[in-house]
Amino acid sequence: MPAPLQINLNLEEDRTLRELSYADGVPERVKQRASALRLNAAGWTVNPIAQHLDWAPQTVRETIHRWQAGGLGELWEASGRGRHRRWSDDDWQALAQWVKEPRRYSAAQLSHKLATERQVELGKEQVRRILKKKLRLETDTTQSPD
Q: 24-47: per-residue pLDDT in tens?
A: 989 999 999 999 999 999 999 999
20: in domain = yes
Boundary-marking domain end, from 75, 108, 124: 75
110: in domain = yes
Whether 16 and 48 share a structural domain: yes
d(CA 64, CA 57): 11
99: in domain = yes
1: in domain = no
Whether 15 and 69 share a structural domain: yes
Give me the domain span that covers residue 32: 11-75
30: in domain = yes
Total number of domains constituting the chain: 2
Whether 68 and 122 share a structural domain: no
Whether 17 and 64 share a structural domain: yes
pTM over 0.75: no
33: in domain = yes
Amino acid at 53: L
* Regions of the chain short of the pLDDT cut 70: 1, 81, 137-146
d(CA 92, CA 114): 10
DSSP string, 38-84: HHHHTT--HHHHHHHHT--HHHHHHHHHHHHHHGGGGGSPPTT-SPP
d(CA 33, CA 132): 36
DSSP 25: T
* Predicted pLDDT of residue 84: 75
